[in-house]
Amino acid sequence: MKKALCAALLLAFLNTSFSQESIPDKPFTKGDFLKKSKELKTAAWLTLGGGLLIAGIGTASAASNVCIGCTTKPKSQLGVVIAGGIVTLVSVPLFIATAKARKKAMSLSLKNEPIETLTVNGITSSVIPSISVNLQL
Protein backbone atom coordinates (compact mmCIF):
# COMPACT_ATOMS: atom_id res chain seq x y z
CA MET A 1 0.00 0.00 0.00
CA LYS A 2 2.79 2.38 0.90
CA LYS A 3 4.66 1.55 -2.29
CA ALA A 4 1.58 2.22 -4.43
CA LEU A 5 0.95 5.54 -2.67
CA CYS A 6 4.59 6.60 -3.08
CA ALA A 7 4.53 5.60 -6.76
CA ALA A 8 1.30 7.54 -7.36
CA LEU A 9 2.71 10.64 -5.63
CA LEU A 10 5.94 10.37 -7.60
CA LEU A 11 4.05 10.09 -10.90
CA ALA A 12 1.84 13.06 -9.98
CA PHE A 13 4.91 15.12 -9.09
CA LEU A 14 6.73 14.18 -12.28
CA ASN A 15 3.67 14.91 -14.39
CA THR A 16 3.26 18.44 -13.05
CA SER A 17 6.89 19.44 -12.67
CA PHE A 18 8.44 18.34 -15.96
CA SER A 19 5.68 18.86 -18.48
CA GLN A 20 5.20 21.66 -20.95
CA GLU A 21 2.47 24.15 -20.43
CA SER A 22 -0.57 23.26 -22.45
CA ILE A 23 -1.44 26.82 -23.44
CA PRO A 24 1.54 29.01 -24.36
CA ASP A 25 1.65 32.58 -23.07
CA LYS A 26 1.75 34.11 -26.52
CA PRO A 27 1.29 32.57 -29.96
CA PHE A 28 4.18 32.37 -32.39
CA THR A 29 4.38 35.26 -34.81
CA LYS A 30 5.84 35.65 -38.27
CA GLY A 31 8.85 37.38 -36.71
CA ASP A 32 9.48 34.42 -34.40
CA PHE A 33 9.56 32.01 -37.33
CA LEU A 34 11.79 34.33 -39.39
CA LYS A 35 14.20 34.70 -36.45
CA LYS A 36 14.29 30.92 -36.01
CA SER A 37 14.90 30.48 -39.74
CA LYS A 38 17.78 32.96 -39.69
CA GLU A 39 19.39 31.28 -36.65
CA LEU A 40 19.04 27.82 -38.20
CA LYS A 41 20.47 29.06 -41.48
CA THR A 42 23.51 30.50 -39.69
CA ALA A 43 24.02 27.25 -37.79
CA ALA A 44 23.65 25.23 -40.99
CA TRP A 45 26.24 27.29 -42.88
CA LEU A 46 28.66 27.18 -39.94
CA THR A 47 28.26 23.42 -39.66
CA LEU A 48 28.73 22.95 -43.41
CA GLY A 49 31.80 25.19 -43.49
CA GLY A 50 33.30 23.59 -40.39
CA GLY A 51 32.78 20.10 -41.74
CA LEU A 52 34.36 20.95 -45.07
CA LEU A 53 37.27 22.62 -43.28
CA ILE A 54 37.85 19.59 -41.04
CA ALA A 55 37.64 17.22 -44.02
CA GLY A 56 40.01 19.43 -46.00
CA ILE A 57 42.53 19.50 -43.15
CA GLY A 58 42.38 15.72 -42.87
CA THR A 59 42.79 15.29 -46.61
CA ALA A 60 45.72 17.70 -46.75
CA SER A 61 47.35 16.00 -43.78
CA ALA A 62 46.94 12.58 -45.38
CA ALA A 63 48.28 13.87 -48.71
CA SER A 64 51.38 15.30 -47.06
CA ASN A 65 52.18 11.98 -45.34
CA VAL A 66 52.07 9.87 -48.51
CA CYS A 67 54.79 7.24 -48.45
CA ILE A 68 55.43 5.23 -51.61
CA GLY A 69 56.04 1.59 -50.81
CA CYS A 70 54.79 1.84 -47.21
CA THR A 71 52.34 -0.77 -45.98
CA THR A 72 50.86 1.30 -43.15
CA LYS A 73 47.90 3.60 -43.74
CA PRO A 74 47.44 6.93 -41.96
CA LYS A 75 44.49 6.08 -39.71
CA SER A 76 44.24 9.36 -37.83
CA GLN A 77 43.92 11.39 -41.04
CA LEU A 78 41.19 9.07 -42.28
CA GLY A 79 39.33 9.58 -38.99
CA VAL A 80 39.57 13.37 -39.40
CA VAL A 81 38.21 13.15 -42.95
CA ILE A 82 35.31 10.94 -41.79
CA ALA A 83 34.56 13.28 -38.88
CA GLY A 84 34.50 16.23 -41.29
CA GLY A 85 32.11 14.35 -43.56
CA ILE A 86 29.80 13.59 -40.64
CA VAL A 87 29.79 17.22 -39.52
CA THR A 88 29.03 18.25 -43.10
CA LEU A 89 26.10 15.81 -43.24
CA VAL A 90 24.71 17.27 -39.99
CA SER A 91 24.16 20.55 -41.82
CA VAL A 92 21.57 18.97 -44.16
CA PRO A 93 18.79 18.63 -41.52
CA LEU A 94 19.53 22.19 -40.41
CA PHE A 95 18.97 23.48 -43.95
CA ILE A 96 15.72 21.48 -44.12
CA ALA A 97 14.55 22.93 -40.78
CA THR A 98 15.42 26.42 -42.08
CA ALA A 99 13.17 25.91 -45.09
CA LYS A 100 10.32 24.63 -42.91
CA ALA A 101 10.56 27.59 -40.52
CA ARG A 102 10.61 30.05 -43.42
CA LYS A 103 7.60 28.33 -45.00
CA LYS A 104 5.69 28.63 -41.70
CA ALA A 105 6.62 32.30 -41.44
CA MET A 106 5.36 32.96 -44.94
CA SER A 107 2.09 31.16 -44.27
CA LEU A 108 1.25 33.43 -41.33
CA SER A 109 0.07 36.93 -42.09
CA LEU A 110 -2.01 39.66 -40.53
CA LYS A 111 -4.89 41.01 -42.58
CA ASN A 112 -7.89 43.25 -42.13
CA GLU A 113 -10.81 40.99 -43.00
CA PRO A 114 -14.15 42.56 -43.93
CA ILE A 115 -17.16 41.37 -41.94
CA GLU A 116 -20.82 42.21 -42.08
CA THR A 117 -22.51 42.99 -38.78
CA LEU A 118 -26.22 43.05 -38.07
CA THR A 119 -27.17 46.25 -36.23
CA VAL A 120 -30.38 48.09 -35.45
CA ASN A 121 -30.10 50.12 -38.65
CA GLY A 122 -29.42 47.07 -40.81
CA ILE A 123 -26.29 45.37 -42.00
CA THR A 124 -23.05 47.33 -41.70
CA SER A 125 -19.71 46.43 -43.15
CA SER A 126 -16.57 46.77 -41.05
CA VAL A 127 -13.09 45.30 -40.89
CA ILE A 128 -11.36 43.41 -38.10
CA PRO A 129 -7.70 42.49 -37.80
CA SER A 130 -7.16 38.76 -38.16
CA ILE A 131 -4.41 36.22 -38.56
CA SER A 132 -4.41 34.36 -41.82
CA VAL A 133 -2.89 30.87 -41.96
CA ASN A 134 -2.32 29.16 -45.30
CA LEU A 135 -2.41 25.38 -45.14
CA GLN A 136 -0.94 23.49 -48.04
CA LEU A 137 -2.55 20.09 -48.49
Tens of pLDDT, residue by residue over 32-88, are 888 888 999 999 999 999 999 999 988 888 777 766 666 666 677 888 889 999 999
The pLDDT value given to residue 74: 63
The pLDDT value given to residue 103: 82
The Cα angle at residue 28 between residues 91 and 137, in degrees rounded to 5: 70
State how beta strands 122-133 and 108-119 pair.
Answer: antiparallel
% of the chain exceeding 70 in pLDDT:
76
The pLDDT value given to residue 92: 94
Amino acid identity for residue 93 in this structure: P
What number of other Cβ atoms are within 10 A of residue 74's Cβ?
A: 18
Q: Is the pLDDT of residue 108 over 90?
A: no
Secondary structure letter of residue 137 according to DSSP: -
CA dihedral 9, 13, 16, 19 (to 10 degrees): -120
- Judge whether 78 and 58 are in contact, CB under 8 Å: yes
3-state secondary structure 57-83: HHHHHHHHCCCCCCCCCCHHHHHHHHH
3-state secondary structure of 39: helix
